[in-house]
Amino acid sequence: MPFHLLPSTAFITRVSGSHIFCRLAGLDAKSSGRLGTRAMVYYMSTTVIAAALGVILVLVIHPGNPKLKSNLGPGKKNDDVSSLDAFFDLIRNLFPENLVQACFQQIQTVTTKVPVPTNRTRGPPQFTIKRGLQYKSGMNVLGLIGFFVAFGIIMGKMGDKAKLMLEFFNVLNEIVMRIVGMIMWYSPFGIACLICGKIISIDDLEMVARQLGMYMVTVIVGLVIHGAIFLPLIYLVIVKKNPYVFFMGIFQAWVTAIGTASSAGTLPVTFRCLEENLGIDKRVTRFVLPVGATINMDGTALYEAVAAIFIAQMNNIDLDYGQIVTVSLTATLASV
């Protein structure tokens, strides 16, 4: 079966790869390790905070009305993979078998029902769940970043021998950023079209708003609290500067993220905002942002925690403290 690398996928791959190559080559192993450790601590902390906030809001607001179940009709059971399977998928994707394939596919655990042979002539058929691995469409950003990080560190240790390679990626990086600058002139019109397309794609907007209105309100309130209160508070405590001045510098990245609903798609705009508007060191942005765009999914952790408890409330299922903690941890892992 022939595979086609989409232009957008190739573009984002170039953006992330050239940035990480160039910046890690200019850092020693100790500096890159310290920077990576701090970034991971921040990523995991904010994701846990987002999941916990989602759990608290869904328990306080209680959007799950049991009457919704009859309005929505019967559902279809889906034997999803466990959190452990998702964790192992994360490890597998971190070390891709084929670097070219990682540009447009990633591996995922899937479950299938396999009939169990029996000697009985009557009775319902019996099935067992069999787990397997298959590739699905979508760029394996984590695997590519892992390769870029290793490549950049080794290239930095080679010194003058890698000078020609470093100059090549510096030029590539400059070309990509100039292309981004040209694209930004058309971004307001493009983002408006994307938002309109999302709204038009909903078959019955009134029915969806009526049936799932409180669920959407809970998620939106959580996102606003997390983005407008918790994250600025963390910035204020650690950096000791006005967080809202910083956030105004990345306003264009916010708008792009809302319009595209894609961390990877917003990445070039975020680079431009941080480096040109706020003057952040390129060695920091080009290393931290591509990794964060892959594993720091606070919004995903929040809405998945809300969704799990919302479904339980809709089915009149009371969750104990242990189950609520499990939901929080699962949402955190699933968002990575």
Greatest Cα pair distance in the chain: 76
More confident residue, 324 or 47: 47
- Percentage of the chain lying above the pLDDT 90 cut: 10
Q: Using 50, 70 and 90 to split pLDDT, how confident is the model at 2? A: very low
Q: What is residue 229's DSSP assignment?
A: I
Above 70 in pLDDT, residue 336?
A: no
The pLDDT of 110-122, averaged and rounded, is 74
User: What pLDDT sits at residue 1?
Assistant: 37
User: What pLDDT sits at residue 26?
Assistant: 55
Q: Using 50, 70 and 90 to split pLDDT, how confident is the model at 7? A: very low
Pairwise CA distance, residues 290 & 21, whole Å: 12
- Residue 1 belongs to a domain: no
Give the H or E element holding residue 128: strand 127-137
Per-residue burial over 308-334, b if 16 or more Cβ lie within 10 Å, else e, is bbbebbbeeeebeeeebeebbebbbbb
User: What pLDDT sits at residue 100?
Assistant: 85
User: What pLDDT sits at residue 9?
Assistant: 43
Pairing of β 127-137 and β 105-115: antiparallel
Pairwise CA distance, residues 199 & 228, whole Å: 25
Q: Which of these, 269, 268, 249, lies nearest to 173 by C-alpha position?
A: 268
- Residue 122 belongs to a domain: no
User: What pLDDT sits at residue 234?
Assistant: 93
More confident residue, 244 or 24: 244
- Residue 134 belongs to a domain: no
Above 70 in pLDDT, residue 47?
A: yes
Residues 61-103 have pLDDT tens digits of 888 776 655 555 554 444 455 667 777 888 888 888 888 888 8
Above 50 in pLDDT, residue 176?
A: yes
Pairwise CA distance, residues 145 & 174, whole Å: 19
- N-term to C-term CA, the chain: 30
Above 50 in pLDDT, residue 305?
A: yes
User: What pLDDT sits at residue 20?
Assistant: 60
Q: Using 50, 70 and 90 to split pLDDT, how confident is the model at 4? A: very low
Chain-centroid distance of CA 53 in Å reads 18
The count of domains in the chain is 1
Chain-centroid distance of CA 74 in Å reads 30
More confident residue, 284 or 74: 284
Q: Using 50, 70 and 90 to split pLDDT, how confident is the model at 17? A: low
User: What pLDDT sits at residue 157?
Assistant: 77
Above 70 in pLDDT, residue 166?
A: yes
More confident residue, 219 or 25: 219
Helix/strand/coil for 110 = strand
- Residue 118 belongs to a domain: no
Q: Is 290 buried (19+), middle (13-18) or exposed (0-12) by CB count in 10 A?
A: buried
Mean pLDDT is highest, among 72-81, 124-133, 231-240, 286-295, for 231-240
Any idea which of 79-93, 230-244, 301-315 has the lowest mean pLDDT? 79-93
DSSP string, 265-281: HHHHHHHHIIIIIS---
- Residue 64 belongs to a domain: yes
Which range marks the domain in which residue 312 is found?
Answer: 6-75+143-335
- Residue 92 belongs to a domain: no
Provide the mean pLDDT of the chain: 77
- Residue 125 belongs to a domain: no
**In CATH, what number is assigned to the domain containing residue 213?**
1.10.3860.10
- Residue 126 belongs to a domain: no
More confident residue, 331 or 8: 331
The pLDDT of 266-294, averaged and rounded, is 83
